[in-house]
Amino acid sequence: MKLLAWPKAAAFGRAIPKRKIYDHADAKTALKDLFVQDVDQITWAYKLAPETINIPATRSVSEIQVFQIKLKTSGLDDKVLQAIDKAIPFPLLFELSYRGQVRLAAAYKRPHETDGNRWVVGRYFESGWQPEDAQREPLPMALNLSVLYEQLLTPLVDASNSVQTVPPTLEGVQDAPANYDISGQRDIKPSPQYNNDRSAVSLEQRIALAEAIDAKQKEIDQIQSRLKREKQFNRRVAINSELREAKQQLARLQARQPAIVSH
């Protein structure tokens, strides 16, 4: 997916001191160390809101914030992004930059169903690295900010590098709820239109499918590790059978992935 050309009218350009994030996230020493080791600078770069991009807000998405993070290393622990998500009460998209390369990262974030002061944050998705001077594309057309948010996240989910599993629960920032079932048995069940129109798959279904694929791949890795350790022939035969079945299940999940549109 291509990088996005954020509207000039939405430019915010405010540097955010790390201590502000620490305060809001109630950061302990380990989290502060991650910021020190991995993060050079945090900039609240753009504010996508009705008054800046002329797209109406909705109850669940009143604004979308874009944070640019200049990194000291090519890797970034999700706990850093979680802390920023916890500190900012709006959906966020991150542009991570390192040595002339940029990638996007975000988690699906929405208000808690019963507590308006809390947010539900799922796992993080990332694009691949691209040159920072790569051609950018304009924001997609959208009727409101909720639709825009989904349009921004969908290609990121599809093109994700499969960062990490769902993050642990934080106070005020929770894991995705049960309807993000990684078993692949509920949310990702094909709808009547699914086979005929893969573009009709919802963002929640795409996320659930990505999580199911990740979980199955981890299961395969564990089975392969057991196989390497096992010396008895009969047990190796049984583990090999289990491995073949898991790989077949993974192939079926991957076959259900929505077609990725080039961006």
The C-alpha angle with vertex 139 and arms to 80 and 201, in degrees rounded to 5, equals 80
pLDDT tens per residue across span 189-210: 443 433 444 456 778 888 888 8
pLDDT of residue 194: 37
Question: How many CB atoms sit inside 10 A of residue 179's CB?
Answer: 9
Residues recorded for the chain: 263
pLDDT of residue 258: 58
Q: List the alpha helices (DSSP H) in 17-130.
A: 18-25, 29-38, 50-53, 78-87
Specify whether the CB–CB gap between 18 and 39 falls below 8 A: yes
Contacts of 126 (CB under 8 A, 6+ apart): 96, 103, 104, 105, 156, 160, 161, 163
Lowest mean pLDDT across 54-63, 67-76, 136-145, 169-178:
169-178
pLDDT of residue 104: 95
Tokens of 248: 């077949």
Which of 30, 90, 35, 96 is CA-nearest to residue 64? 90
Beta bridge partner(s), residue 94: 67, 105
pLDDT tens per residue across span 152-165: 999 888 876 344 43
More confident: 87 or 183: 87
pLDDT tens per residue across span 234-247: 999 999 999 999 99
